[in-house]
Amino acid sequence: MPLIDSHTHLDFPDYDNDLDLVLSRAKQYGVDKIINVGADLVRSKKAIEIANKYGNVWATVGIHPEGCDIDISQAQKELKKLATSSPKVVAIGECGLDYFYDDSKKVKQKALFELQINIAQELNFPLAIHLRNGKDETAAMDGYNLLKKNKVTNGVVHCFTFDKTWAKKFINLGLYVGFTGIITYKNAELLRETVKSVPIDRMLIETDCPYLSPQKYRGERNEPSYVSEIAKQIAETREEKIEKVTEQTAKNTEILFNI
């Protein structure tokens, strides 16, 4: 049963003491391939170091919207340098819009997102996209509009939490949607409706570890071996065989990131 965890943060200090163990546990659970996503310049660099060290880990380089105070021309220079520094770099991101804690920096966030869209297109990389609403749906809307304006057709909207209407809109751009352990939470009925609505060939699975442990491990540190819980939930929700879910999501991830 091949499994791929399409969005992790193994470069976080949470794994400083036992990354070898975490990765061998992932292998035991059938997780063949792992994408480690960079969330700022320092972390992107560390993500590349990890990917260079472990054959089954790939890296992305990007700056999360919370880092939007960075100087744009510096960000551009550094990201391009990092993106071309190793063959293990497979995408730009995570990048996007996050209005959840602070929606006073929308202009800066949009500028940083668009910069990374442009870098991805210039270097022919897919995008790892993060969109999180604040009090209303504006992050989904603003993100969608920016992606559409720039004719983005290659990427994944990770940690998807929007309804099925939004899922359809992003998929119609040509993008994938990524589901995390959130779909296993008791109160996630609406999101499970989205899971049902998304064609299986447009969906990825991810832990987004160390965050968002699936229900079974809630309260613990998350890790790639738990991605099987997300596959299980998708199979249950859609009434499909788990083998079909793991095989197809693995295939989707391989196509998207060219791994």
Q: Where are the alpha helices (DSSP H) in the chain?
A: 19-28, 41-53, 72-83, 106-123, 138-149, 164-172, 189-197, 227-238, 242-257
Which residue, 230 or 235, has its beta carbon nearer to Zn ion? Answer: 230
**Eight-state DSSP code of residue 97:** E
Which residue, 42 or 122, has its beta carbon nearer to Zn ion? Answer: 42
Q: Smallest distance, Å, CB 50 to Zn ion? A: 15
Alpha-carbon distance of 131 to 197, in angstroms, equals 19
Q: Smallest distance, Å, CB 94 to Zn ion? A: 5
Give how far the C-alpha of residue 100 lies from the chain's centroid of Cα atoms, to the nearest Å: 17
Q: Smallest distance, Å, CB 125 to Zn ion? A: 17
Tokens of 208: 């987004």
Q: Which residue is nearest to Zn ion (CB)?
A: 208
Which residue, 70 or 242, has its beta carbon nearer to Zn ion? Answer: 70
Which residue, 101 or 189, has its beta carbon nearer to Zn ion? Answer: 101
Q: Smallest distance, Å, CB 95 to Zn ion? A: 11
Whether the CA torsion 236, 237, 240, 246 is positive or negative: it is: negative
Q: Which residues bind Zn ion (CB under 5 A)?
A: 208
Alpha-carbon distance of 73 to 76, in angstroms, equals 5
Which residue, 11 or 208, has its beta carbon nearer to Zn ion? Answer: 208
Which residue, 208 or 223, has its beta carbon nearer to Zn ion? Answer: 208
In this structure, the dihedral spanned by the alpha carbons of residues 193, 159, 23 and 186, taken in order and rounded to 10 degrees, is -40
Q: Smallest distance, Å, CB 211 to Zn ion? A: 7
Tokens 């744009």 label which residue? 72
Q: Smallest distance, Å, CB 37 to Zn ion? A: 5
Please compute Rg for the chain using Cα positions: 17
Give how far the C-alpha of residue 162 lies from the chain's centroid of Cα atoms, to the nearest Å: 15
Tokens of 168: 């359809």
